[in-house]
Structure 1
Amino acid sequence: MTLPNIITLIRLAIIPFYTYFLLTNDLFIAAILYGVAAISDILDGYLARRLNQTSNLGKIIDPLADKIIVIISLIYLGLKAIFPLWGVLILFIKELIMLLVGFFFLIRGVEIISSKIYGKLAMVLISISILMALLNISFSSVVFLIGLVLSLMAGMDYLLYYLRSLKTNKS
């Protein structure tokens, strides 16, 4: 087990506590836990590259941890009408499709690619928008919608990559 994967597992362990504080409306503590999770995400990615400890397991559990905490956050913020529910649903469906496509291609032996710049930027903006919303900072929904657009662009790019890979593997 690599150090980056251990950090990711710790991030997964934060999620139940984060969810508890969301549901009890202690949004300041929830924001702190979300911030810790976001920092650990940056740290494990940096360490994986720096220590040359990237792994297929890490390529799956790292985005899975990110997606779980983001989806919990977005469902909460959408149901509270802080973010537009339609935007939350679009992002949820996109993330579910990307997860299923990733697993499908992993099973088929196609290389799982890491996030590209606009996928990373989308996640940064969505994370910032979640922190803004938890801390009751104005314009969080605008930042969320910009992140949503970038996330959809990144999703299309990944989908096209995997479709080209599928076509190449059939040839």
Structure 2
Amino acid sequence: MRRPYDPGMGIEDLLGGRDLGDVKKAVGFVMENSDDFEKLLILVRGLPDDAVGFIGKLPELLKTIGSGLADAGEQAAKAAGALVGDDGEGGARKALAGSATTMHAAKDRLKEASGMLSGLAGELDKIPGIGDAAAKKLNDGSGQIGEVATEVESLAGNLQDLSGILAGVGDALKGLGTKLSESGGSVKTLLD
């Protein structure tokens, strides 16, 4: 319903109660940037009909992207924790390093056993008649135990190498988690 003209009305009343200074600023802004507004209008007119609706959905899409990045960062940090623990020395890395240490100790025991068998073979070899055959078998067994000890040592080295690789992967995942979380937070702040 239109109000009838009242000669006592000021221009502020005609503008819906807005301050004339604010209206002047708005008109001045539009006039100063009219070229940019014209470019924007041409751009919007050239967009397909569904593009304007898509632009309206951008804030929600950015929120989803931000949340997804932050969640991915959290999952990467959890994976890093599982691989190397919170201190960089735990998780799967610690288990592998512990296994390598145990295998090194087993290797040392096997080499000791091999040495004992070899020594016993030397003593048996001194017994005439039956000592030669028994000594040969003990020496063969000693050699096989020595070979097992060498393979256990090699496996222990591989476990230590794998532990170091996991440490590198864990550090990379921690860094990735931090960057993803930061990116997610940055996207979210665009909308706040």
Higher relative contact order (CA 8 A, sep 6+): 2
* TM-score of the aligned structures, taking structure 1 as reference length: 0.28
Point out the structure with max Rg over C-alpha. 2
TM-score, length of structure 2 as denominator length: 0.25
